[in-house]
Structure 1
Amino acid sequence: MSTHEKQPPEPGGTRRTRNVVLLAVAAVVVIGLATAGIWWGVANGSASSPVAAESPSSPAPAPHSSASPTPSAPKPSTAKPAPTATSKPTAQPGAAGAALPQREPIALSTKTTVDKGVTVTMSKLEAVKGEASGPGEVAGPAIRFTLVFANPGAAAYGSQPIVVNAYYGQDNTPALPLSGPGATTLAASIPAHSSASATYVFTVPEDQRGSVTITVDYQAGAPAIAFQGVAPK
């Protein structure tokens, strides 16, 4: 006979009771661990929430400055402008006040040849009070004179190109033409063996009449006749 005697088996009811107890204990342990984890998470969330509040997800906008940015000075352009066409003013023959090529000055009373035998003589040089009636004219002290053109030739002489100007003073300042008193125009043509005259009025200050030049331009490119002398005051 063996020295170890077989223990009698536990009854079935006792074994089931022990298993239930073990399952209950395990459930309690699991519930306890779960409860502890929940409380741990709540505690950590509460502790970390202020930090999250202090660190917003989007960066704060930069403070606005009221100072306007200083504009940078534009760089000077090195490009050269394209040349533009320019025209120099040219003095047209016969334009009032235009300086024209002249012959040697002659006395105011001298008779001289103009062209093709036609002669010109100045007469009736006098001081007048100039009258203004045309555009740009200014009334004032003036001189008035008459030019007589004689045509001894056998054909009529066209006098349309003839233009008369006057200058005064040492600087030969251009005198301005006036419409009166008594100014007349020269006929467009001087008949053969005949003469024609015209009367001219120019503004000349009284203190500038010590040197007066009266020019007669009769043909483009030809030197103008120049009468020069003292005009009456």
Structure 2
Amino acid sequence: MSSPDETPPTSTADTSRRRGRIIAVAVGLVAVAAVVLALVLTGRGDDSPGAGGSPEPSAGSSSASSTGGGTASAEPTDGPADELPAAGPDTPEAPPVAFDESPTVLTGVTARVKSVTAVDGDATLPGEVAGPAVLAELELTNDSGTAIDLSTTVVNLAYGADRIPANTFSTGTSSFVGSLDTGSSATASYVFAVPTDEQDVLRLTLDYAVDVPVVVFEGAAS
């Protein structure tokens, strides 16, 4: 007969049940670890460039540029930024008049050629070549009743039957500038390079503004 203080021996059935529970817990932990590992490996595979297709572009990357390192513009432009509008039609010309006439430039304003004389052109700026020239002096008279702007006035000269454009010498040339009060006159001088044998066929033009016909004088130098 056993003593009351002795612990009864563990039965074989109880030992088997404990071992079963331990094994079950171990298997469960292994299964959970396998699932976690699979999820981690799957996530890494999705992030790699070669798995499952190309990665989505980030918000700051360019989706349009494939050959260069620069950022493509969001929208195509119509042309170069510094492209100028197409030129409009040339300003019409008034019928030619002789050097001694005073045609109307616009209402109340007349033009007159004071003189066209042969001179020697002085070369002072790069590109200028000294040589035979003509000095043309023109006068504008304003009787329109209001001041007029002279800053847009352009005077040119062509010579010969082919109307070859003449270059302007800086020395001796003084263009129309500023404004001209009513009841007043303004004078301007222009020195044009013209060969001596072409100074008898001259065409002098005064272009006041784009919306005003060009005044044309024709004659010979004196």
Distance in 2 (CA, whole Å) between partners of 1:118 and 1:192 is: 9
Residue 129 of structure 1 corresponds to 120
Partners of 1:163 and 1:132 lie apart in 2 by 22
Larger radius of gyration, structure 1 or 2? 1
Provide the residue aligned with 1:143 in structure 2. Answer: 134
Cα distance in 1 for partners of 2:190, 2:86 equals 25
The DSSP-based 3-state class of the residue aligned with 1:137 is coil
1:207 alignment partner, SS class: helix
Tell me the TM-score normalised to structure 1 length. Answer: 0.55
Instruction: Quickly say closer, same or farther: Cα 1:127–1:90, change in 2 above 3 A.
Output: farther
Instruction: Read off the aligned partner of 2:127 and give its amino acid letter.
Output: G
The separation in 1 between residues aligned to 2:86 and 2:198, in whole angstroms, is: 28
Quote how far apart the aligned CAs of 1:136 are.
Answer: 2.8
Deviations 1:129-173 (A, max 9, x none): 001223432221000021111111321111111100000001000
Residues 166 and 91 of structure 1, relative CA distance in 2, 3 Å threshold: farther
Distance in 2 of aligned mates of 1:125 and 1:198:
12
The structure whose residues are more often strand, as a share, is: 2
Unaligned runs of 5+ in 2: 1-78
Deviation string 1:102-121 (CA, Å, 9 cap, x unpaired) is 22111011111111311110
| 1:199 match | 189
- Aligned residues of 1:151 and 1:190 also touching (Cα < 8 A): yes
Structure 2 equivalent of residue 185 of structure 1: 175
Which residue identity lines up with residue 198 of structure 1 in the other structure?
A: A
Instruction: Name the SS for the 2:174 alignment partner.
Output: coil
The whole-number CA distance in structure 2 between the counterparts of 1:141 and 1:89 is 38
Equivalent residue letter for 2:195: P
CA RMSD of aligned residues (A): 2.7
1:187–1:196 contact (8 Å) kept in structure 2: no
2:149–2:180 Cα contact (<8 Å) kept? yes
Superposed displacement of residue 92, structure 1:
8.8
Aligned pairs, number: 143
| 1:175 and 2:166 matched | yes
- Measure, in 1, the Cα distance between the counterparts of 2:126 and 2:87: 20
Could you tell me which residue of structure 1 aligns to residue 210 of structure 2?
Answer: 220
Counterpart CA distance in 1 for 2:146 and 2:88 is: 28
The DSSP-based 3-state class of the residue aligned with 1:141 is strand
Cα distance, 1:154–1:222 mapped onto 2, change above 3 Å: closer
Equivalent-residue separation in structure 2 for 1:127 and 1:89 (angstroms): 40
Partner of 2:168, secondary structure, is coil
Unaligned runs of 5+ in 1: 1-84, 94-98
Kindly state the Cα deviation for residue 91 of structure 1 after the two structures are TM-superposed.
6.8
